[in-house]
Structure 1
Amino acid sequence: MSKFRSVAVLAGVALLGSACGPEAEQAAPTQVLPSWEEFRASAQQDPEGAFIVDGDIALGTEAELREFYDGFAQGDLGTSTGGLAVYRTGSTDIKWNTTQAANITYCISQSSFGSRYNAVVTAMTNAAAAWEATARVNFVHSSGQDGNCTASNANVVFDVRQVSGAGYTARAFFPNSSRSSRNVLIDSSAFGNLGVWTLTGVLRHELGHTLGFRHEHTRLSSTGCYEDANWRGLTNYDSSSVMHYPQCKGTQTGDLVLTSSDKTGARALYP
């Protein structure tokens, strides 16, 4: 999650105009799409070498980045009439199947978090509980894997590790990511002053991505943070959504928590 800067779109796409008025809010802003070569040259990478798009989503390989670019270039799926939105490519919602959704295993790196390990265990448990209480999903902490919690550990669906100087508070992935990219990385800055946010709140947001949910602020161009149209609305737009950046004209003034619309959307995707 990028707290201190508004991520408007994927790297390299320039916004040429902003919509005004209630009718214009439903339209995507006019954009000039860079060539693939220009986009690749400007792509941000984190300390793990992953390409970061939309502020806090990791793509592990150049092939995945190219797929993301192609999807953006061809994307015409977004509709705000559909506040939760699921990532969608073509006619497919990006989500876990029923079996996997009931057993989303993860490890938490003891070595990278050190004395912060217990705090992360608690925050992950509480963040997962918020989604589990409303949708048919189940996050399972495989603590036996915590001593070998790396991106190559195939015994878990994803790993949770600490990084430093990444430029984000935390970042996550979507269900169609390769195993090497299925990480929730928490920057050391997340253990400092987050204002009204808590680590649990940040992880509620990131776990939303791991279930397939997009940033809510991409649904209206008037937020100033439009990303792309590769999503399908599950509920009406919700400016207080746990998936909405507050700095993108969001109305969530406290910690990041699931709203009633978030819960409705989560149940719709994972009934």
Structure 2
Amino acid sequence: MKTFLITFTLAILCHACAQEKKDKASDLVYLNSSANLDKQNEFYQDSLIEFDDSNKVYFDQSIGFDRFINRYDTVIIDQEIFFIVQGDLLLDMDEMVDYYSTYFNDTTQYEKLVIDVLPDGKINKMPNADQLTYAVVRSSFPSENEYKSVVRYMAEATRNWSDILPEKVAFKHLSYLDDQLRPSQQHPDVTFTIRHYNSGGKFVAAAFFPHYSKYRWKVRIDPSYYTTRADKVGVLRHEIGHILGFRHEHIRAEAPIDCPREDDTTFDPLTSYDKVSVMHYPCGGFGDLNLAFTEKDIKGSRLIYN
């Protein structure tokens, strides 16, 4: 199955997602444990055949699926196994099978951000983005203070996105559902839910992309979120970027070599490289722990939500 995605500097992902390798000097830990990252990075180098001057990457297709998935950390949520990829995204087994087939694509390019479209020609972005609703599942949080902190930070982060995309992106917190919903429960009035989940520090926060099945539309907050050096609102601004379909900025060829790489399909640019984008991890001396919007972020996002 063909993968479709759009990236800006921000980038919209459609089907298969790829792994990240982490700058170990940074403690902005969206990513997997350092031991597992070492395993992922070793796999990346072992499977790499060529990274040439045209920025095309070629991989050894003899790498087996078992070895491929073994490089990823996993979490079990509601009795289902998820693989942690790209540091802050969760894929189920079916999605990993799809990604395995796209990973070994000898036309993968890293010099550009890209726009891909669905077979019907439509961009795969968040539908009805001007009427997004969410609930924060109070019962999932260990303490009232943690719950209230997430409510407050999420309100600011969503307002930040609405401010740069007026009348195009809007969020509403349906707080009356916070006490009614259980962690695994869906509600027809809610676009997505936010819940506490202890991953053991494998991620700080994890979100989803618009192409995920609706039952997967959840944002999960790890206990490490409350102690990370990164700006708490900024972390959620970054995660909302994924919800709106935007990918990581540091996958580009212009990013430092020690920044995480993602392996996906071809993509084309909407803006030039932005080393301090809200979607850029702190790595290789680039990125910003504030995870604030830049002019390029605003320009790129308005090209998609216009």
> Under TM normalisation by the shorter chain, which class is it?
0.7 to 0.9
In structure 2, relative to structure 1, the CA distance for the partners of 1:143 and 1:232 (3 Å cut) is farther
The partner residue of 1:27 within 46, 55, 59 is: 55
Over residues 179-210 of structure 1, what are the superposed CA-to-partner deviations in whole Å (9 max), with x where a residue is unaligned? 23221111101112x22x22111111111111
Report the equivalent of 1:51: 83
CA distance in 1, matches of 2:171, 2:38: 30
1:119 has 2:153 as partner: no
Say whether the 8 Å CA contact 2:249–2:277 is kept in structure 1: yes
The residue type paired with residue 121 of structure 1 is: V
The residue type paired with residue 31 of structure 1 is: F
In structure 2, relative to structure 1, the CA distance for the partners of 1:209 and 1:11 (3 Å cut) is farther
Q: TM-score, normalised by structure 2?
A: 0.73
The residue type paired with residue 235 of structure 1 is: T
Say whether the 8 Å CA contact 2:138–2:147 is kept in structure 1: yes
Report the equivalent of 1:245: 281
Offset, 1:142? 1.7
The partner residue of 1:161 within 195, 206, 209 is: 195
Of the structure 1 ranges 207-216 and 38-47, higher mean CA displacement relative to structure 2 is found in 38-47
1:14 has 2:37 as partner: no
The residue type paired with residue 94 of structure 1 is: N
Q: Percent identity?
A: 29
CA distance in 2, matches of 1:250, 1:89: 36
1:104 has 2:135 as partner: no
Say whether the 8 Å CA contact 1:55–1:168 is kept in structure 2: yes
Query: 5 Å matches for 1:253-268?
Result: 253-268=288-303
In structure 2, relative to structure 1, the CA distance for the partners of 1:251 and 1:203 (3 Å cut) is same
CA distance in 1, matches of 2:116, 2:234: 21
Of the structure 1 ranges 173-182 and 203-212, higher mean CA displacement relative to structure 2 is found in 173-182
Say whether the 8 Å CA contact 1:87–1:212 is kept in structure 2: no
Say whether the 8 Å CA contact 1:47–1:166 is kept in structure 2: no
1:223 has 2:257 as partner: yes
Of the structure 1 ranges 202-211 and 173-182, higher mean CA displacement relative to structure 2 is found in 173-182
Say whether the 8 Å CA contact 1:149–1:160 is kept in structure 2: no
In structure 2, relative to structure 1, the CA distance for the partners of 1:244 and 1:52 (3 Å cut) is same
CA distance in 1, matches of 2:210, 2:264: 18
CA distance in 2, matches of 1:176, 1:258: 24
The residue type paired with residue 194 of structure 2 is: V
CA distance in 2, matches of 1:86, 1:101: 19
Of the structure 1 ranges 73-82 and 140-149, higher mean CA displacement relative to structure 2 is found in 73-82
Offset, 1:96? 1.6
Offset, 1:43? 3.5
Segments of structure 1 that go 5 or more residues without pairing to the other structure are none
Say whether the 8 Å CA contact 2:201–2:224 is kept in structure 1: no
The partner residue of 2:94 within 63, 67, 73 is: 63
In structure 2, relative to structure 1, the CA distance for the partners of 1:78 and 1:88 (3 Å cut) is farther
CA distance in 1, matches of 2:76, 2:288: 31
- 3-state SS of paired residue (2:264): coil
Say whether the 8 Å CA contact 1:204–1:242 is kept in structure 2: yes
Say whether the 8 Å CA contact 1:108–1:160 is kept in structure 2: yes
Q: TM-score, normalised by structure 1?
A: 0.82
Say whether the 8 Å CA contact 1:175–1:211 is kept in structure 2: yes
CA distance in 2, matches of 1:19, 1:41: 23
Report the equivalent of 2:234: 201
Offset, 1:229? 3.3
CA distance in 2, matches of 1:18, 1:87: 26
Offset, 1:228? 1.5
